[in-house]
Chains A and B, each alone.
Chain A
Amino acid sequence: MESSEAYIGPEPHIEVHKYYGGVVSVAVVLALLLQAFLPVHFRWANYLELPLLVTVYFALSKRNPSTGLLLGMVIGLLQDSLSRTPIGLYGIAKTLVGFIASSIGARIDVEHPIARFLLTIGFYLFHHAVFTLSSHWLLAQRDQSYITGPILIASVVNGVIAMGLFPLLDRFRKPS
């Protein structure tokens, strides 16, 4: 029986990756742990947004919008829980990132390092914009800027980190 709905899954030529059990959970926990831990010891770590990188990576790889948005939501809410922000701010931002990243991953090849670099920069800026917009609209906090020099630097730093981190996570894929 054929479905009457249009096919909206990954393009036939794009492979959906699967991972060994627990890899996603461990990666998420590690990202949250390092995000909470590193800035205490190293000032430069304030530029990092490891939970976002993990969200982007797995959303791009899973290529399923529902999975991507749920993963983004979980990571975002956990990040909210460990931060002083009201719970939901990171959640909303990462939910949207997860949804869009998995939608993009379903349509284009995102394995190339340059593509990953540019996508990470774009998602970082988008994530920051959604976070700031949510703060403005929902919390009436108007002390954050959408684009500043440090934010641009942070987006590039995270893009560079992604170029190293994503191939590392690729090693935990199940062979197809």
Chain B
Amino acid sequence: MTAIPSRHRSLTLLAGVIVAQVLLLAVQIKQERDVRLIRVWAVELISPLQRAATWAIDGVENGWGGYIGLRHTRQQNLALRAELDQLKIRNAELEGRAREADRLERLLDFRTAHAEVPMLAAQVIGGSPDSGSLLVYINHGSRSGLRRDMGVITPDGVVGKLLAVFPDISEVLLLGDKESGVGALLADTRTQGVVKGTGEPQLILDYISNDEKVHSGETVLTSGQDRIFPKDLPVGTVVQATKDPKTPFLDIIVKPSAHLDRLEEVLVLLTRQELDTQKGSGKDASTAPAITRPIAPKAPAKAPAATQ
């Protein structure tokens, strides 16, 4: 009978193997040194296989992700596009509300800064269907105390005047309309003239003598002579001033201070009480129109009490 390993032999072998490994551990701990050679062999043995397996797995993942996993992509794509469209609409709506909040904040700041001047905030609710005239409608009328010829402004400057007042709606003739005009003066020289609408985005300042020195960028303010607007409200900025040999007056083009093409909220002046335009205009003192003369306080004109 061939030799059969005895239990003692197995146990001896087991003890030897265990002791050898314990000694191996002890050597590593005592010398704080790794058994690098064994690790190198093991890693060298396994790493090519690992690379191959990784390559295979990546191939399967790519194949799955690139082809099989795309089965429902078209439906998902369509659903996501629809969702994106809805979100775009929602985003535009929220942006609009944010802009509206900004405008209202400026309006409120302006009103707060001029709390002594009665004025009424109104919302532009529509425009004129007549393309030749620059008219807008606001959501307040005679029931709110509005009267014809009251001035309409924004924190940026003069907008126009009330042309017609109905019980709950009023018609505003914008400054840019051909029929519109406002007494104005040049901020630097205090030379007075009249700003008129042209039906175009830009205005003209008339009745300024050819002898006057007018430079582009000069601020144009209300003069108060028209008895609609108080003095020194910003009207616009000189864009160009040229001499016309046929007339004794300069041709002065003015860019309006108020954004007449995108009005949404306005303030209606309920009296002609002077405004200190350096307060709450949304501009700092350095950019605000210069007021060279003190504004004499005037008794409020006969006007209905402010309702707001």
- Chain A residues positioned under 8 Å from B9 (CB to CB): 66
**Among B48-56, B81-89, B92-100, B216-224, which stretch is in contact with chain A?**
B48-56
The digit string for A27-66, where 1 denotes a CB below 8 A from any CB of B, is 0010011001100010000000000000000000000111
CB contact under 8 A between A33 and B50, given known A2-B1, A88-B25:
yes
Q: Are A69 and B57 in contact (CB under 8 A)?
A: no
A95 within 8 Å of B by Cβ?
yes
Q: For A86, give the chain B residue with the smallest CB separation.
A: B28
Q: Contact between B22 and A92 (Cβ–Cβ < 8 Å)?
A: yes
Residue in chain B with minimal CB distance to A69: B14
Is the CB of B68 closer than 8 A to any CB of chain A?
no
Given contacts A65-B14, A81-B39, A92-B18, contact A32 B46 (CB under 8 A): yes
Q: Say whether B50 contacts A37, CB under 8 Å.
A: yes
> Given the interface contacts A29-B46, A69-B10, A77-B38, does A9 sit within 8 Å of B25 by beta carbon?
no
Q: Which residues of B contact A64 (CB under 8 A)?
A: 5
**Count of chain A residues with Cβ under 8 Å from any Cβ of B?**
38
Chain A residue numbers with a CB within 8 Å of B26 are 138
> Which one of A41, A78, A80 contacts B57 once the chains associate, using CB atoms below 8 Å?
A41
Say yes or no: B39 contacts A87, CB within 8 Å: yes
The A contact surface, by secondary structure, is helix
Contacts of A81 in B (CB 8 A): 38-39, 41-43
A8-B4, A81-B38, A87-B39 in contact; A139/B46 too (CB < 8 A)? Answer: no
Task: Given A81-B41, A88-B21, check contact A95 B14 (CB 8 Å).
Answer: yes
Q: Which residues on A sit within 8 Å (CB–CB) of B42?
A: 32, 78, 81-82
Scoring B6, B21, B28, B49 by chain A CB atoms within 10 A of each residue's CB, the highest score goes to B21
**Residue tally, chain B, CB below 8 Å to A:** 34
- Residues of B127-183 whose CB lies within 8 A of A: none
1/0 per position for B1-17, CB-CB distance to A under 8 A? 10111111110011001
Binding site for A on B (CB under 8 A): 1, 3-10, 13-14, 17-18, 21-22, 24-26, 28-29, 34-35, 38-39, 41-43, 45-46, 49-50, 53-54, 57
Interface residues of chain A, those whose CB is within 8 Å of chain B, are 1-3, 5-9, 29, 32-33, 36-37, 41, 64-66, 69-70, 73, 77-78, 80-82, 86-89, 91-92, 95-96, 99, 103, 134, 138-139
What are 10 A-B interface contacts by the 8 Å CB criterion? A5-B6, A32-B42, A36-B46, A65-B5, A65-B7, A65-B14, A81-B41, A87-B24, A87-B38, A138-B26
